[in-house]
Structure 1
Amino acid sequence: MSGGLFALLDDVAALVRMSAASLDDVAAATGRASAKAAGVVVDDAAVTPRYVQGIEPQRELSIIWRITKGSLRNKLLIILPVALLLSAFLPWLLTPILMLGGLYLSYEGAEKVWEKVQERRGAGAHGDHGAAAQDDDEAAALDPAEREKKIVSSAVRTDLILSAEIMVIALDEVAAEPLWERAVILAVVAVFITVLVYGAVGLIVKMDDIGLALSKRSSSGVAALGRGLVKAMPVVLSTLSTVGVVAMLWVGGHILLVGTDELGWHGPYGLVHHAEEAVAAATGALGGVLGWLTNTAFSALVGVVVGAVVVAVMHVLPRRGAKAAGH
C-alpha cells in the first residue's frame, strides 16, 4: 500500500517537473517572440497617442481603455484562431503573409518620411491639409459620444493591422513548437504586448497632466520636476514618432530580407548577413552590437527603397498623371 502511494507521488513529482519544464519553455519562447515583434510594438505605441489629440483630458484614459479592449479582441478572438489554423494546415502561407506585412510596414514608414519632406517643401498646403482640416471639422461637429465612437473604431482598425503583424511575427518565431504551446505563447504575447503598449500610451498621454499637477506642489524640487515633464512631452512625442518610423522601416525591411531568403532567393539576405559577420569579426568586444547595427541599417535601407517604390505607385505617379491630364 505504501509502495503504491510512493509510486503515485513519484509520478506526480515527475508530472510537476515536466510541467515546470514546459512552462520554462513557454516562457522562453514567449520572450523570444515578444522581442522579435519589438519594432512593431514601438510603432504601435507611436501611432496611438494621436487618436486622443484634441480630446478633453478627462476622457483620454476612457478612450484608451476602449481601444485596449478592442486590441485584445483583435488579437485573441480574430488573429489568434486564424494564425493557429494557418500554422496547422497552411504553414507555407506564413512567410508570404509576413512579407505582405513587411511591405506594408515599409510603405507606412516611407510614406511618413515622404509626408515630412512634403511639409518642409510646403507642398500640399491647400490640398492634403485642407482635407485634414475638413475631417477635423466634421469630427468636431459630431455628438461627443459619436465622435469618441468614431475615434475608437478608427484606432481599432489600425490596431488590427499592427496586431496581425505582431502575432504573425511571434508565430513565425515559435512555429516549431507544439500546437498547444503555440496557442499559449501567442495568447501570452497578445496580452503582454497589449498591456505594455496601451499602458505606455496612457502614461505618455497623461504625462503632461501629471507634470502640471506636480508643478503646483509647494516643494520646489517637485514643482521643478513637474515643469520639466511638461516641457519634455513635446520632445518625447516627437522622438517617439521618429523612432516609430525608423522601427517600421527596419522591421519591414528585415522581414522582406528574411522572407526572400526563406523563399529561395538567398542573395540579398546573404549579402547582409555576410556584412554583419564581417563587422562583428573586425570590431572585437563591440562586434555583436555593431554587427546587429549593420544588419539593422541594411534592413532599414531595404525598407526605405521598397517603401519608396510603393509610395511612388500609390501617390506620386497618380498625382503626376492627374496633373498631366489636367494640362
Structure 2
Amino acid sequence: MASGIFAILDDIAALMDDVAVTSKVAANKTAAILGDDLAVNAEKATGFVSSREIPVLWAITKGSLINKLIIVPIALLLNVFLPDLIGYILILGGFYLAYEGVEKVIEVLFHKKHEDTKSRMLENDPAAEKAKINAAVTTDFILSIEIVIIALNTVLDQSLMIQIFTVSLIAVLATVGVYGIVTLIVRMDDVGYKLIRKSKGEGILFPLGKGLVRSLPVVIKVLGYVGTVALFMVAGGIFEHNVGFLHGVWENIPGFLRQILFATIAGLIVVILVTGFKSLYRTVVKK
C-alpha cells in the first residue's frame, strides 16, 4: 500500500518536472506576444479617474481569466479532433486585430480633435467605461488565443496531461503577469503623490515622486503607440504564419515591417467592408 502511494507521488513529481521544463520553453516562445499583450492592455486600461482604475482593471482581469477558461479547453479539444480549424480561427482573430489597429490610426489622423471630449466621457459615463472594458476583454480574447496556441504548439509531442498542465499554467501566468504589471503602471501617479506627501518637499523622495507623477502621461502615451504597433505586428504575424500564399511575399522587407504591411492591408479591407455595411444599413433603415 505504502509503495503504491510512493509510486504515485513519484509519478506526480516526474509530471511536474516535465511541466516545468515545457512551461519554460512555452514561456520563451510566448514572450513576444506577452509583451504585445502588455502594451495593448496598458493602453486600454487607462483613461479613467483614479478611483475607478482598480475596479476597471479587476473587471478586465476577470474577463481575461474567463477568456482563458473558454479558450484553453477548446484549443485542446480542437487540437485533438479538428487541428486544421485552429489556423482559421487565428486568421479571423488577425482580421479583428488588424481592423482595430487601422481604426486607431484613422482615429488619431482624422478625429484627434474629439480626444479630450472622449476622455471626459470615460471619466463621467459608466456606459463608456463598460464599453471600454468590453473592448479590452474582446482584444484580450484574441491575444489569448494566440498565446494559448503558441504555448500548445510547443508541447504537441508531449502527452495530453503535460499539454493540459503546461497550457493552463501559461494562461494563468499570462493573465496574472500582464495585468499585475498594468496595475503597477496605471498607479504610478498615486505612488508618486504619496512619496511627495511623505517627503514634505525634502530629500530624494520628493524628486522621485514628482518624476513618477510626470512620467505616467508619457508612459501611457508611449504604450498607446506601442500597443497600436503591437496590434499590427500580432495580426501580421498571424497572417504570415497561417496564410499559405503569403509565405515568401516581400522577403526583401524586414520581418516586422512585412507584418505591419500585411495587417494594414487586412485592416483597411475590413474597415471598408464595415463602413460599407454601416452605410447600407443606415440607408435601409431610413427607407
Shared fold (TM-score greater than 0.5)?
yes
What residue identity is the alignment partner of 1:25?
V
- In 2: Cα distance, 1:54 partner to 1:36 partner: 28
- In structure 2, what is the equivalent of residue 70 of structure 1? 63
- In 2: Cα distance, 1:199 partner to 1:221 partner: 27
- In structure 2, what is the equivalent of residue 228 of structure 1? 211
Question: Which structure 2 residues correspond to residues 202-213 of structure 1 after superposition, within 5 A?
Answer: 202-213=183-194
Comparing 62-71 and 227-236, the one that deviates more: 62-71
CA drift of 1:33 comes to: 4.2
Q: 1:320 to 1:115 in 2, by over 3 A?
A: farther
- In structure 1, what is the equivalent of residue 241 of structure 2? 258
- In 1: Cα distance, 2:185 partner to 2:172 partner: 20
- In structure 2, what is the equivalent of residue 302 of structure 1? 262
Structure 2, unaligned stretches of length 5 or more? none
CA drift of 1:72 comes to: 1.2
The SS at the match of 2:87 is: helix
CA drift of 1:158 comes to: 4.7
The SS at the match of 2:45 is: helix
- In structure 1, what is the equivalent of residue 81 of structure 2? 89
Q: 1:169 to 1:102 in 2, by over 3 A?
A: farther
- In 1: Cα distance, 2:10 partner to 2:25 partner: 22
- In 2: Cα distance, 1:210 partner to 1:17 partner: 42
- In 2: Cα distance, 1:321 partner to 1:71 partner: 32
- In 2: Cα distance, 1:46 partner to 1:316 partner: 31
Is 1:118 aligned with 2:101? Answer: no
CA drift of 1:111 comes to: 1.1
Structure 1, unaligned stretches of length 5 or more? 277-293
Q: TM-score, normalised by structure 1?
A: 0.71
Q: 1:194 to 1:234 in 2, by over 3 A?
A: same
**Cα RMSD over matched residues?**
3.8
Q: TM-score, normalised by structure 2?
A: 0.80
The SS at the match of 1:270 is: coil
- In structure 1, what is the equivalent of residue 182 of structure 2? 201
- In 1: Cα distance, 2:261 partner to 2:125 partner: 43
- In structure 1, what is the equivalent of residue 121 of structure 2? 136
CA drift of 1:167 comes to: 2.4
- In structure 1, what is the equivalent of residue 231 of structure 2? 248
What residue identity is the alignment partner of 2:161?
W
- In structure 2, what is the equivalent of residue 30 of structure 1? 26
What residue identity is the alignment partner of 1:198?
Y
- In structure 2, what is the equivalent of residue 102 of structure 1? 94
Q: Deviations over 1:95-126 (max 9, x none)?
A: 11111111111111111111111125x5xx5x
For the 8 Å contact 2:97–2:235, the answer to whether it is kept is yes
Question: Which structure 2 residues correspond to residues 137-176 of structure 1 after superposition, within 5 A?
Answer: 140=124, 155-176=136-157
Percent identity between the aligned chains? Answer: 33
Q: Which runs of 4+ in 1 moved over 6 A?
A: 11-14, 146-151, 320-323
Q: Deviations over 1:114-157 (max 9, x none)?
A: 1111125x5xx5xx998x59x939x9476xxx997777566545
Q: 1:310 to 1:39 in 2, by over 3 A?
A: farther
CA drift of 1:307 comes to: 1.2
Is 1:42 aligned with 2:41? Answer: no
CA drift of 1:310 comes to: 1.6
Q: 1:160 to 1:254 in 2, by over 3 A?
A: closer
- In 1: Cα distance, 2:131 partner to 2:174 partner: 24
- State the aligned residue count: 279
What residue identity is the alignment partner of 1:98?
L
For the 8 Å contact 2:91–2:239, the answer to whether it is kept is yes
- In structure 2, what is the equivalent of residue 290 of structure 1? none
- In structure 2, what is the equivalent of residue 288 of structure 1? none
